[in-house]
Structure 1
Amino acid sequence: MGEKHSVQFGVDLRRETLEQYKDGVSELTSNEEFSRKGYELWGQDTWFALDNLEVVTGLRGQRDSDFGTHWAPKINARLGFEDGEGFDSFIRAGVGTGYRVPNLKERHYRFDHSQLGYIVNGNPQLEPESSVSYQLGFGGHFEKKVWVEVNGFFNDIDELVQTDIDQAATDARTDSVVVYRYSNIDQARTWGIESTAGWEIAEGWRISAGYTWTETEDVATGNDLNRRPSHQLQASVDGLTGLSGLSWSLRARNQSSEYADAALDRKSSGYTSLDLKLNYRVLPELQLYAGVDNLTDSQRDFSDPDDFQPVAGRFLYTGFSLTLGGQ
Structure 2
Amino acid sequence: MTLNNDKPEHLDPRTVEEYFRLGVKTAFTLLQSPFAQMQIDPSRDEIELLTPAKGSTPEVTTFERLSAERIVKDNQEWFRLVVDAEGMHYEAYVLIESIVDQLRTGASLRHAVSEAVLSLKDLLAGRRRLTDEKELGLIGELLVLRHLIDKSGETSALESWLGPLAEEHDFALEDFDAEVKTTKSELRTHLIGSDTQLEPSPGRPLYLVSIQLTRSGSATVGFTLPAIIGEVRALLEQSLRGFDQKLESLGWRDTDADLYKTAYSLRTTPRAYFIDDRFPAITSARLDLVVPQRAHVSSVSYRVNVTDLKHSTIGAPLIDFCEVPA
TM-score (norm 1): 0.20
Structure number having the greater strand percentage: 1
The structure whose Rg is larger is 2
- Tell me the TM-score normalized by structure 2: 0.20
Q: Which has the higher helix share?
A: 2
